[in-house]
Structure 1
Amino acid sequence: MNTPISDLGEFGLIRKLTEQFAIISPDRVRMAVGDDAAILQMKPDEELLVTTDMLLEGVHFDMTYMPLKHLGYKAVVVNVSDICAMNGIPQQITVSLGISARYTAEMIEELYKGIELACQHYQVDLVGGDTCASQNGLAISITCLGSVTKGEAVLRSGAQPNDLICVTGNLGAAYMGFQLLEREHRTFLSAPTEEFEPHFEGYEYLIERQLMPSAQRWLRGKLAEQGVTPTAMIDISDGLSSELLHIAERSQVGVRIFEDRLPLDRETLALCEEMNMSPITAAFNGGEDYELLFTVPLAQVGQVSDIEGVSIIGHVTDASEGCRWVSTDRAEHELKAQGWNAFS
Structure 2
Amino acid sequence: MFDNKQRTDINELGEFGLIDYLTKAVEIKELSTVKGIGDDAAVLDFSSKKTLISTDLLLEGIHFDLRYVPLKHLGYKAVQVNLSDIYAMNGIASQITFSIGLSSKFPVEAVEEIYQGVLIACEKFNVDLVGGDTSASAQGLVISVTSIGYADADKVVYRSGAKEGDLLCVSGDLGGAYVGLQLLEREKNIFIENPNIQPDLEGKDYIVERQLKPESRKDIVELFETYGIQPHAMIDVSDGLASEILHICKASKVGCKLYEDKIPIDPMTYETAREFGLDPTVCALNGGEDYELLFTVPQDQYDKVKNQLDISIIGYITEEAAGCEMISKSGHVHPIQAQGWNAFKQSSNDGSTA
Q: If the length of structure 2 is used for normalisation, what is the TM-score?
A: 0.84
Which residue number in structure 1 is paired with residue 99 of structure 2? 96
Instruction: Say which SS state the counterpart of residue 284 (structure 1) adopts.
Output: helix
Distance in 1 (alpha carbons) for counterparts of 2:151 and 2:308: 22
Correspondences of 1:1-344 after superposition (within 5 Å) = 45-193=48-196, 196-344=197-345
Distance in 1 (alpha carbons) for counterparts of 2:83 and 2:50: 16
Query: Which has the larger displacement, 222-231 or 206-215?
Result: 222-231
- Residue identity opposite 2:97 in structure 1: T
Contact 1:259 1:326 in 2 (8 A): yes
Deviation at 1:272, TM superposition (A): 1.2
Query: Which has the larger displacement, 70-79 or 271-280?
Result: 271-280
Instruction: Say which SS state the counterpart of residue 277 (structure 2) adopts.
Output: coil
Contact 1:222 1:307 in 2 (8 A): no
- Residue identity opposite 2:64 in structure 1: F
Deviation at 1:191, TM superposition (A): 2.2
Measured on the aligned residues, the alpha-carbon RMSD in Å equals: 1.0
Deviation at 1:212, TM superposition (A): 0.3
Distance in 1 (alpha carbons) for counterparts of 2:147 and 2:155: 18
Contact 2:46 2:150 in 1 (8 A): no
Distance in 2 (alpha carbons) for counterparts of 1:191 and 1:212: 27
Distance in 2 (alpha carbons) for counterparts of 1:43 and 1:274: 50
Task: Give structure 2 stretches of 5+ with no counterpart.
Answer: 1-44, 346-354
Give identity over the alignment, percent: 50
Contact 1:44 1:150 in 2 (8 A): no
Task: Give structure 1 stretches of 5+ with no counterpart.
Answer: 1-41
Distance in 2 (alpha carbons) for counterparts of 1:299 and 1:287: 30
Distance in 1 (alpha carbons) for counterparts of 2:203 and 2:179: 13
Q: If the length of structure 1 is used for normalisation, what is the TM-score?
A: 0.86
Deviation at 1:274, TM superposition (A): 1.1
Contact 1:175 1:288 in 2 (8 A): yes
- Residue identity opposite 2:88 in structure 1: A
Instruction: Say which SS state the counterpart of residue 313 (structure 2) adopts.
Output: strand
Distance in 2 (alpha carbons) for counterparts of 1:267 and 1:44: 45
Contact 1:174 1:286 in 2 (8 A): yes
